């Protein structure tokens, strides 16, 4: 970013905030042509008053637009920023294991301490605290990579297992925040490391992370095929046991396959995979968190509703929520799962033209896990849709949330 012309930086951050040139120009009080010339470098941006106004609209430190590192603020919006993206990228670009082959190995923390840090990171993710997690990820990645490079013997598989989990955590949060290519890289690394950890179930969960990243990049067909192929390998029966851990990973592969199928409009495959996951969840019995999957009967229904939204059937998604999901069991789910579902419901309500209920779902999700609503690009799209469909001025809670999200009212 430092080497980019200032106009390119403006264009980058406008894109991150999901603003069109026209919307950005309107908020700035300029023409679309003026914005286009600034971003292409045809026109100079040399007035500091305008620069500060642009920074305010884009919700970034003006130093970022000037190609400098801003002062880090503890009260910053609880989302990822470009500095954190670059720090995570730098951590993912490390190759400690090959470096240790040629030179002195790095000094990692003890494995028990690493295990506690990884557990804390998973819980931070599942409670929807993405800003806190992205700030911690670079060090966690470096520590886990160092541990994988150094520990040998009986400890090598444990170190690889922990690194595989850290890559999965990184992939999951990066995908949520719209950094899909980095999410794919982290997930791909997780698959390779999981094989060295000699844990088929860890590799199965890593597969779902790869497929989620592929789907987010518009590669839903390969995502569907890979999820189903690995699910078939891990299916209980024959030489495979029927432990809840295996059923959970198998079920999640089917659920993510259903989501990929829904994105390409394959209704029959969606139904088939959801039914398979429902059977697996019935054998598990309740919603558990083996391998951090939160898999069980309630999570299957959350995915059934999400798949209906992807298929454009908002009415069906709302029906599933009202008739298939028990409130007490839903309330027992972790915050990220619940807020994610509320965001899906908001999308469902916009599909049937009910802006009021869509807005209410966003507000409920924001109260539960603010980062899930304020930081995800898809949530910004939903809020924009709610504002467009609202007649007159939006209710003050919606207007306030839209302002926090940086979505123009």
pLDDT in tens, the chain (409 residues): 445 688 888 898 888 777 899 988 888 888 999 999 999 888 888 777 788 788 878 877 677 787 765 544 433 445 776 677 888 888 887 765 555 444 444 678 899 999 999 999 999 999 998 988 988 899 999 999 989 988 988 899 999 999 999 999 999 999 998 888 899 999 999 999 999 999 999 999 999 999 999 999 999 999 999 999 999 999 999 899 999 999 999 999 999 999 999 999 999 999 999 999 999 999 999 999 999 999 999 999 999 999 999 999 999 999 999 999 999 999 999 999 999 999 999 999 999 999 999 999 999 999 999 999 998 889 999 999 999 999 888 999 999 999 888 887 5
Q: What is the pTM of this model?
A: 0.79
Report the distance separating Cα 198 and Cα 4, nearest Å: 44
DSSP code at position 11: H
Return the number of other C-beta atoms located less than 10 Å from residue 250's C-beta. Answer: 28
Q: 176: closest CA among 239, 221, 131, 136?
A: 131
- Using DSSP, state whether 113 is helix, strand or coil: helix
pLDDT at 101: 41
Torsion of CA 1, 14, 358, 331, to 10 degrees: 10
The residue count for the chain: 409
Kindly list the domain boundaries of the chain, sorted by start residue.
Answer: 1-72, 82-198
Report the distance separating Cα 294 and Cα 290, nearest Å: 7
List of residues 6+ apart from 382 with CB closer than 8 A: 343, 346, 347, 350, 358, 362
Beta bridge partners of 102: none
Return the number of other C-beta atoms located less than 10 Å from residue 243's C-beta. Answer: 13
pLDDT at 231: 97
Q: Are 173 and 184 in contact (CB under 8 A)?
A: no
What's the topology of domain 1-72?
434 Repressor (Amino-terminal Domain) (1.10.260)
- Using DSSP, state whether 342 is helix, strand or coil: helix
List of residues 6+ apart from 6 with CB closer than 8 A: 45, 65, 66, 67
Q: Are 127 and 335 in contact (CB under 8 A)?
A: yes
């Amino acid at each position: 970013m430092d080497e980019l012309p200032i106009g390119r930086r403006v264009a980058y951050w406008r894109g991150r905030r999901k603003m069109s040139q026209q919307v950005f120009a309107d908020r700035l009080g300029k023409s679309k042509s003026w914005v286009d010339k600034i971003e292409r470098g045809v026109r100079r941006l040399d007035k500091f008053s305008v620069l500060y106004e642009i920074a305010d609209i884009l919700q970034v430190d003006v130093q970022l637009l000037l190609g400098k590192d801003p002062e880090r603020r503890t009260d910053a919006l609880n989302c990822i920023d470009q500095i954190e993206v670059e720090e995570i990228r730098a951590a993912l670009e490390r190759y400690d294991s090959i470096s240790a082959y040629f030179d002195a190995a790095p000094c990692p923390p003890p494995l028990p301490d690493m295990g506690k840090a990884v557990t804390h990171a998973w819980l931070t993710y599942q409670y929807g605290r993405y800003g806190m997690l992205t700030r911690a990820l670079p060090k966690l990645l470096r520590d886990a990579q160092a541990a994988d490079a150094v520990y040998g013997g009986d400890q090598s598989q444990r170190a690889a297992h922990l690194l595989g989990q850290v890559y999965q955590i990184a992939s999951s949060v990066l995908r949520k925040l719209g950094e899909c290519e980095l999410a794919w890289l982290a997930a791909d690394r997780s698959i390779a490391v999981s094989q060295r950890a000699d844990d088929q179930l860890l590799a199965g969960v890593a597969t779902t992370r790869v497929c989620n990243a592929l789907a987010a990049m518009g590669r839903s067909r390969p995502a569907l095929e890979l999820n189903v192929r690995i699910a078939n390998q891990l299916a209980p029966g024959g030489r495979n046991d029927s432990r809840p851990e295996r059923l959970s990973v198998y079920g999640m592969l089917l659920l993510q396959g259903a989501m990929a199928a829904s994105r390409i409009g394959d209704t029959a495959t969606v139904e088939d995979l959801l039914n398979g996951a429902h059977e697996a969840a019935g054998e598990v019995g309740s919603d558990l968190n083996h391998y951090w999957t939160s898999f069980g009967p309630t999570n299957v229904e959350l995915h059934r509703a999400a798949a209906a939204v992807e298929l454009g059937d908002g009415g069906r998604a709302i029906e599933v929520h009202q008739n298939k999901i028990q409130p007490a069991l839903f309330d027992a789910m972790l915050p990220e799962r619940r807020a994610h579902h509320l965001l899906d419901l908001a999308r469902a309500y916009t599909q049937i033209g009910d802006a009021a209920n869509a807005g209410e779902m966003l507000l409920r999700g924001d109260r539960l896990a603010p980062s899930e609503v304020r930081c995800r690009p898809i949530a910004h799209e939903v809020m924009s849709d709610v504002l467009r469909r609202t007649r007159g001025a939006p209710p003050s809670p919606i207007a306030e949330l839209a302002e926090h999200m940086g979505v123009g009212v």
